[in-house]
Amino acid sequence: MGRWLDFESNPWGQEVLQGVSLDLMYLAIGLAVLFTLGHWFWYRRRGFSKQEEVAEAQGSVAGIPERIVRHTLASRIFHWSMAASMLVLLVTAFVPLLGLEFAWVTIHWIAGAVLILTIVYHVIHSIGWQDFWSMMSMGAKDVREGISHFRHVLSPKAPTPEKPGKYPFDHRMYHNGIVVVSLAAIVTGVLMTLRIETPFWEPNTYYPFVDQAVSGYSELGEPVISLTPGATTGLMFVIHGIAGVSLILMVTAHIYFAIRPDKRWFTWSMIRGWIDREHYLAHFDPDKWSVSDGSVQEQAPGGAIADSVVSAPRVDD
């Protein structure tokens, strides 16, 4: 533990948890690089790109528009502003530790505030205008779907999994992961913001855990003393630190997949907002993600169904 956690003697000479050590950041960076490279090699050797081509459009194209809106403008604004603030947060958090020094704290908390706003917006938006639970759900059915999906990934012989709904299992898993980690980072981050100078409140460097060395007596007349002053503060830093390094890993993986050619159509959908019918039919179960009832917001130019030839995504790697 000593290697990953940082302990210091508090003013009373007690060893107190301070936070995570720098080594953990290097570990995360190392793992992120390893994962990216590993996945890339593994993917190439497995020749998944060929298998992907097997996926064919199934079912009727009737009523399915040429372009299927996957992410509304509102969702995209959310995603990219969140991404920007997250990147700023990561850069301001870790780059100074890597040696390039600049005044990072103010940028960091402002980016954090932006992130919180985007998430609040996202939550409201997704509850009010989106199918909130479809992004989050993790029922038995979803787990089965996930397991079959993973089997398929791990072994080409495994049966082709069922197609998912709008949010495939891995996306949901990632989303849930990022929800947990980000919330941990945000909650601890907000608490930490109470300790620094911001326009919002008077800072208190002992917040949120005012580890009052001695707070006097309880109503029973027993002395009330915190066990190890500063420990709870240290825990907050540990959570923030672990969340931070986890985000290094998760964001790296996310970006990696986003720029992978075979997934790039997803990325484009986050930019343009729509996917084309071929991808829709190839990757999603129309029963689970129904798009025929008015989710078509714009007609593709020409609009002839016959024009839409199922085609495999272009692989250019």
Partner 1 sequence: MAEKIIGTDIVPQDLVAKITGRARYAEDFRADGMVFTKLLLSPMPHARVRNVDARRALTMPGVFDILRADEVRQVEGRPGEASLTDEPMYEGQPILAIAAETEEQAASAIEAIEIDFEPLPFVLDPLDSLRPNGPNAYTGGNVFAGGEFSELKWTDADFAEIDAGRMPNGEATVEWTKGDIDAAFSESDLILEESIVHQSLTHHPMEPRSTMMYWENGKLHAFVSTQSAQRTKYALAGTLNIDPEDVVLVAEYCGGGFGSKISGNTHMEVPAVFSRKIGRPVMLRVTRYEENYIGRARPGFQSWLKMGFKADGTCNAIDLYIVQESGPYGAGDFNTAGMIADLVYTPQNMRFRGIAMYTNTPPKAAQRGPGGAQIVIMMEPILEKAARELGLDRLEVHLKNAPDADVEFGPRNSTLTSVHAKEALEKGAEIFDWAGKQALSGRREGTKRTGIGIGLSPYTAGSRGYDGLMVIRPDGKLYIHQGLGNLGTHSIMDTARPAAELLSLNWDQVELVWGDSSRGMPRSSVQAGSQTTHAHSRANHAAGMDARAKILEVAARTLGGSPNNYDMDNGRVFRRGGGASMTFAQVAERAIELGGKYDGHELPDDIHATTVPAANMLAGEGLMGVARDNYGGRGGVYSWVAGFAMVELDEETGRVDIKEYVAVTDCGTVLHPRSLSAQVLGGSVQGMGQAMTQRWVFDPKWGVPFANRLYTARPPGILDVPLDMKVDAVGIADPQTPVGAKGIGEPPVGAGGAALTSAVADAMGGLCLCRTPLTPDIILSALEGLEPPFTLEQHIG
Partner 2 sequence: MAIIRDMIPAFELFQPTTVEDALVLLAEHGQGAWVLAGGLDSYDWFKDRIKRPEAVIDLGGIDELTGISDAQDGLEIGAMTTLTEIVRHERVRSEYTLLADAAEHVATPQIRNQGTLGGNISQDTRCWYYRSGWPCYRAGGNTCYAAAPQAMNREHAIMGTSRCVAVSPSDTAHALVALDAKMIVRGRRSSNVYDAEDFFIGPATDITRMTVLESGDLLTQINIPGEWANAHFYYEKVRDRGSWDFQLVSVAAAFKTSGNTIDDARIVVNGVAPFPVRLDAVERLVRGTSVDEAVAIEAGEIAIQGSHALKYNEYKQPMMSNLVRRAVRSVA
Q: Which residues bind partner 2 (CB under 8 A)?
A: 6, 8-11, 13, 16, 18-19, 96, 101-106, 195-197, 202-206, 230, 233-234, 237
Q: Which is nearer to partner 1, 14 or 72 (CB)?
A: 14
Q: How far is the CB of 111 from partner 2 (least distance, A)?
A: 15
Q: Which is nearer to partner 2, 212 or 297 (CB)?
A: 212
> What distances in angstroms separate CA 282 from CA 50, 60, 269, one per listed residue?
14, 12, 15
Q: Which is nearer to partner 1, 10 or 269 (CB)?
A: 10
Residue 21: Cβ-neighbour burial (10 angstroms; 0-12, 13-18, 19+): middle
By a kind-dependent CB cut-off of 5 to 8 A, residue 214 interacts, out of partner 2, partner 1, none, with partner 1
User: Residue 217 interacts with partner 1 (CB under 8 A)?
Assistant: yes
Find the binder of partner 1 among 2, 216, 294, 301 (CB under 8 A): 216
Find the binder of partner 1 among 124, 225, 259, 315 (CB under 8 A): 225
Neighbours of 4 (CB within 10 A): 15
User: Residue 124 interacts with partner 1 (CB under 8 A)?
Assistant: no
Please choose, out of 28-36, 60-68, 141-149, 212-220, the segment that lies near partner 1 by the rule CB under 8 A.
212-220
By a kind-dependent CB cut-off of 5 to 8 A, residue 293 interacts, out of partner 1, partner 2, none, with none
* DSSP structure class, residue 223: E
Pick out residues in 12-41 that bind partner 1 (CB under 8 A). 12-13
- Asked if residues 242 and 24 have their Cβ atoms less than 8 Å apart, the reply is yes
Tell which residue, 15, 20, 7, has the closest CA to residue 229: 15
3-state helix, strand, coil in the chain (%, to 5): 55, 10, 35
Q: Which residues contact 170 (CB under 8 A, 6 or more apart)?
A: 146, 149
Report the alpha-carbon distance of residue 71 to residue 130 in Å, rounded. 10
Q: Which is nearer to partner 1, 12 or 80 (CB)?
A: 12
Residues pairing with 214 in the sheet: 225
- Residue 303 Cα to chain centre, angstroms: 36
Find the binder of partner 1 among 43, 206, 207, 256 (CB under 8 A): 206
Q: How far is the CB of 81 from partner 2 (least distance, A)?
A: 25
By a kind-dependent CB cut-off of 5 to 8 A, residue 216 interacts, out of partner 2, partner 1, none, with partner 1
Start-to-end CA distance of the chain, whole Å, equals: 42
Strand locations in 42-157 (E)? 67-69
Q: How far is the CB of 196 from partner 2 (least distance, A)?
A: 5
Q: How far is the CB of 15 from partner 2 (least distance, A)?
A: 9
Residue ranges in contact with partner 1 by CB under 8 A: 11-13, 206, 212-214, 216-217, 223-225
